[in-house]
Amino acid sequence: MIPVQGVQGRKVAVLGLGRSGLATARALLAGGAEALLWDDSPESRAKAEAEGFAMTDLTRNGALEGVAFLVVSPGIPHLYPAPHKVIARAMEAGVPVDNDIGLFFRSFATKAWDGFDQAPRVVAVTGSNGKSTTTALIRHILDEAGRPVQMAGNIGRGVLDLDPARDGEVVVLELSSYQTELARALTPDVAVFTNLSPDHLDRHGGMGGYFAAKRRLFSEGGPDRAVIGVDEVEGRFLADQTGEGAADDRVIRVSSGTKLEGFGWAVFARKGFLAEWRKGRQVAAIDLRDIKGLPGAHNHQNACAAYAACRSLGLGPKEIEGGLRSFAGLPHRSQLVGERGGVRFVNDSKATNVDSAAKALQAFDKIRWIAGGMGKEGGIAALQPLLGSVVKAYLIGHSARDFALQIGDLPHEICETMARAVARAAAEAGPGEVVLLAPAAASFDQYPNFEKRGEDFMAQVAAVLGQPPADAG
């Protein structure tokens, strides 16, 4: 645990008692604060009370009197589509609103660091797609290279649940837009921006607000090094705003598909090869084509971002390459879960929007595509140009019939359930084909989250193959 600094004897309110909220409460108490805790969910309150915490109803009038600041869990809206009533009251009363990420950055460094040979460092990763894989890949590469490392944020542990830093340790954080938009302190040593595509637009009031939330990671504290994906206009804008010209190697530009030669520092992948260029010349190259844990151009972009971040931390190309090759991938993200008779079964349940599904569809040839769920605004019509590699679609969930109307003449079958979709796709697939779960939709019509959806896919594949269910993690 990382005790929160500067709160001794102060009254601090915590709204939301999920994973990050409970970790925040513990860290505040460890820092000597009086913590006032509340969650709108009776189940969450009961869980916190079982841990020994007392509840304070922050929704009642006067509950925030004397409170130094309010800490809000990331899933609770503070601006759009409308602020939670407790947050609205805090802002009306001038009570500062923060989150656990802000508390982490103001509490991570301690006097113990004075005795370290090498100061700990923080790498923070944000973006729309690929940030979980990039975060886990950076952690894996550092671990394989023998560097002390911890991982937290939107993946793994809550940030305040981390252990106090060791000499020379690197903390790798995945940060969502919900986390970056509200943190009052954002001071990573290395900041990574993977890419941007429409998501969470109701929460951010549109695409501009969404990008602004991501951009705060680079504009608030000014990282020593910025690794920025430049395959979209927002990334190019961010790189331009962050650097002092093309030769400024504090910005490492990253691309999947575009050759970047005219910059101080760049890492890009083309035709399956990663190349690092510095000051107008190539200094390293890695063949990514046979790395099973990183299939497709989208994962090659993730590899470039992780490579650049690790290079900025002082690792050499060869030790980074070793980490790339031993990376097994993350559950539910282009995860190979079975193979029979030349047919591969791939779980990409995390492909919950059109952009991430597009990346999955471009990673494989001859696809038996399982898609559907709770469709998002706009449906999947934008995927039509990418369906040339799809042999047939097997549609499930609430939006199955809507999706069927949006895929043109592509052969398809309304399966409704995962069990039927996997059984039908497996029965019809031939050697060289891939049965791919890439839903392009949320899971909430049939599952509590994308992880449970992916686990069901894996269980159905195991049943078809006559094998024990694979381990999702």
Q: Which residues are annotated as a binding site?
A: 127-133
Helix axes 207-219, 233-242, angle to 10 degrees: 30
Known binding-site residues for ATP equal 127-133
> 66-105 burial string, b = 16+ CB within 10 Å, else e?
ebebbbbbbebebeeeebbebbebbeeeebebbbbbbbbb
Provide the token pair at 267.
């890492």
**Phi, psi dihedral angles at 295 (to 5 degrees):** -80, 140
Parallel/antiparallel/unpaired status of strands 273-278 and 265-270: antiparallel
State how far the Cα of 192 lies from the Cα of 229, in Å rounded to an integer: 8
* Sheet with 34-38, edge to edge strand ranges: 34-38, 11-15, 69-72, 97-98
Taking the alpha carbons of 267, 269, 270, 276 in that order, is the dihedral positive or negative?
Answer: positive
Q: How far is CA 51 from the centre of its chain?
A: 29
| Cβ within 8 Å of residue 421, ≥6 positions away | 370, 394, 395, 396, 415, 460
Parallel/antiparallel/unpaired status of strands 170-174 and 121-126: parallel
- Kind and range of the H or E run holding 13: strand 11-15
CB of 293 closer than 8 Å to CB of 329? yes
| Cβ within 8 Å of residue 404, ≥6 positions away | 393, 395, 412, 414
DSSP 197-255: ---SHHHHTSHHHHHHHHHHHHHSS--SEEEEE-SSHHHHHHHHHHSSSTT-TTEEEEE
Rg (CA), the chain: 23
Q: How far is CA 247 from the centre of its chain?
A: 30
